[in-house]
């Protein structure tokens, strides 16, 4: 029998012969023994026929012996098959046992890792809560309504809450409700017409306060209000654009950044550029800060046409259309009801007309709109274009080239400021 290893399992192979092969081999074996006995009798002196008859008689019943030999061969085959089956079952059970052990071990490790992650998260939350002193809720016309934690260290004012939540309207009413003797009462109320005015909201926030912000529709500022001009802020802040500089009021760099919604991320570089008498931009502030409170001595008073640029540490300016240095003649400032308001570069050689600027900014959000172009002449803002436009094709005859520092305002009729507002 062939007892070599089978298929790499180390198991003996069963007899591969079929019944015909076994019968043929048994016949050959019996014939060999009968012929051997016949030759011995012939050598002893018997004739061939007598020797064959005597050899068969001495050998016995050939068919019976053949059947016994075949049964022995088949029993060996069956035994080897049973041995193979038993060994295969043992191997499979071993593999199954190892697989179960691996699964149990992996599951245990996964649960242990999840427990560690949960513990770390709880520790982080506990550490964060240890640095907080209550919560304040803000709802209404803000970009990010919700519940905000109150820091334990430092002041947290109503203005800080609004900066964190981001007012969605430039004119809004803010109400601060506070529990007094178990009852929620109106503690403070202000109407804000310009975002930088939020700095006057100095009420300290305490645990349980609730802030409600509501937009002021068709708000018109007081007739006595006048503008000295505009300042421009762009880069990594929430609401870049052009902001009016109130006559008789003081606006610092930090007030402008807070009024524009605050920083998108930190740390950042803050640069302030200002036109000199020769008409060139000069950098008067260049500071690396983590928060607007870090400006300190760099928190200068802004003047008309000042340009504040907030960049990330790696030098990226979010959403700005500023080309490489030397490839533009200056900047155009676009604000109002357009898809992409902001700062646009004035090409060094090519023309940039009013209609091209509005088209490149995605067009107006309304079907009919006012177009107003304000240009600084002798340090004073002056309207050089102001008309109602139903379609940009209406500008075919009146379209004109824009100049550095032009301010373009696109507004619906109800949103357009009156002459006294400028």
State residue 99's pLDDT score: 92
Nearest to 261 by CA among 155, 409, 160: 160
| 139 and 93 assigned to the same domain | no
Residue at which a domain ends, from 320, 347, 374: 320
User: How many angstroms separate the CA atoms of 154 and 151, rounded?
Assistant: 7
The pLDDT assigned to 97 comes to: 92
The pLDDT, as a whole number, for residue 221 is: 47
Does residue 67 lie within any of the structural domains? yes
Does residue 377 lie in a domain region? yes
Claim to verify: residue 307 and residue 339 sit in the same structural domain: no
Distance (Å, whole) CA 251 – CA 249: 7
> What's the number of CA atoms in the CB half-sphere (13 Å) around residue 125?
6
* CA 97 centroid distance within chain: 43
Same-domain check for residues 314 and 335 = no
pLDDT in tens, 133-184: 688 899 887 778 888 888 876 678 888 888 888 776 667 788 999 988 888 8
Could you tell me the residue range of the domain that residue 39 belongs to? 5-100
pLDDT at 98 (0 to 100): 92
Q: Which residues of 326-356 are buried (b: 16+ CB within 10 A; e: fewer)?
A: eebeebbbbbbbbeebbbbbbeeeeebebbb
d(CA 151, CA 131): 6
Q: Is the same domain home to 332 and 409? A: yes
Domain assignment of residue 126, yes or no: no
pLDDT digits (tens, 9 = 90+) for 306-321: 888 887 765 444 343 3
Q: Is residue 112 a part of any domain in this protein?
A: no
Q: Residue 267 — φ and ψ, nearest 5°?
A: -75, 165
d(CA 381, CA 33): 130
Same domain, 167 and 242: no
Give one DSSP letter per residue of 347-375, joined into a string: ESSS--BHHHHHHHTT-BSSSSEEEEEEE
| Gap between the Cα atoms of 130 and 150, Å rounded | 11
Domain match, 315 and 345 both:
no
Task: Write down which residue in 215, 241, 266 finishes a domain.
Answer: 215
Domain termination site, one of 278, 298, 320: 320
Q: What is the pLDDT of residue 130?
A: 54
Q: What is the CATH number of the domain that holds 352?
A: 3.10.560.10
As for how many domains the chain has, the answer is: 4
Does a structural domain hold residue 111? Answer: no
| Residue 109: inside a domain | no
Let me know whether 32 and 54 are in one domain. Answer: yes
**Quick one: pLDDT at residue 394?**
72
The answer to whether 336 and 352 are in contact (CB under 8 A) is: no
Q: Give the helix, strand, coil percentages of the chain, each rounded to 5.
A: 35, 30, 35
Task: Report mean pLDDT in 10-residue bins for the chain, 422 residues.
Answer: 44 63 80 83 82 79 80 74 87 92 90 86 65 77 83 79 74 86 86 70 88 70 54 77 70 85 84 74 83 86 83 52 45 77 66 78 74 75 80 75 84 50 41
pLDDT value, residue 325: 38
| Residue 108 maps to a domain | no
DSSP three-state, residue 18: coil
Say whether both 421 and 409 belong to one domain: yes
The answer to whether residue 114 is domain-embedded is no
Q: Are residues 278 and 336 in the same domain?
A: no
Residues 6+ apart with CB under 8 A from 145: 138, 139, 165
- The CA distance from 6 to 256, in Å, is 84
Q: Are residues 9 and 96 in the same domain?
A: yes
- One domain, residues 368 and 380: yes
Same domain, 309 and 361: no
């Amino acid at each position: 029998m062939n007892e070599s290893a089978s298929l790499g399992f180390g198991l003996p192979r069963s007899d591969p012969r079929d019944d015909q092969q076994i019968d043929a081999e048994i016949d050959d074996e019996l014939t060999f023994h009968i012929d051997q006995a016949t030759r011995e009798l012939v050598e002893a002196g018997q004739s061939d026929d007598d020797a064959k008859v005597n050899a068969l008689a001495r050998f016995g019943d050939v068919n019976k012996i053949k059947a016994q030999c075949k049964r022995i061969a088949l029993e060996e085959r069956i035994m080897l098959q049973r041995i193979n089956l038993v060994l295969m079952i043992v191997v499979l059970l071993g593999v199954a046992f190892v697989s179960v052990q691996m699964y149990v071990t992996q599951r245990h490790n996964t649960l242990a890792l999840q427990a560690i992650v949960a513990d770390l998260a709880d520790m982080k939350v506990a550490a964060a809560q240890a640095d907080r002193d209550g919560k304040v809720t803000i709802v209404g016309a803000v970009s990010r309504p919700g519940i905000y934690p109150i820091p334990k260290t430092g002041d947290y004012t109503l203005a800080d809450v609004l900066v964190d939540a981001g007012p969605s309207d430039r004119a809004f009413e803010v109400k601060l409700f506070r529990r007094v003797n178990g009852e929620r009462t109106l503690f403070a109320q202000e109407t804000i017409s310009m975002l930088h005015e939020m700095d006057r909201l100095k009420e300290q926030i305490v645990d349980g306060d609730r802030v409600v912000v509501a937009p002021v529709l068709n708000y018109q500022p007081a007739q006595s209000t006048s503008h000295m001009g505009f300042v421009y802020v762009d880069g990594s802040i929430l609401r870049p654009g052009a902001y009016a500089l109130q006559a008789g009021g003081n606006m610092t760099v930090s007030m402008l950044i807070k009024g524009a919604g605050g920083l998108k991320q930190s740390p950042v570089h803050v640069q302030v550029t200002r036109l000199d008498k020769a008409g060139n931009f000069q950098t008067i502030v260049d500071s690396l800060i983590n928060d607007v409170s870090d400006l300190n001595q760099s928190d200068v008073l802004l003047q008309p046409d000042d340009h504040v640029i907030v960049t990330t540490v790696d030098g990226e300016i979010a959403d700005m259309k500023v080309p490489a240095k030397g490839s533009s003649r200056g900047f155009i400032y676009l604000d109002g009801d357009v898809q992409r308001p902001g700062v646009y570069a004035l090409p060094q050689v090519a023309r940039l007309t009013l209609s091209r600027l509005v088209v490149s900014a995605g067009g107006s959000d309304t079907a009919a709109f006012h177009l107003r172009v304000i240009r600084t002449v002798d340090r004073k803002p002056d309207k050089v274009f102001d008309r109602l436009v139903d379609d940009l094709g209406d500008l075919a005859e009146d379209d004109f080239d824009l100049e550095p520092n032009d301010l373009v305002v696109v507004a619906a009729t109800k949103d357009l400021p009156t002459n006294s507002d400028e």
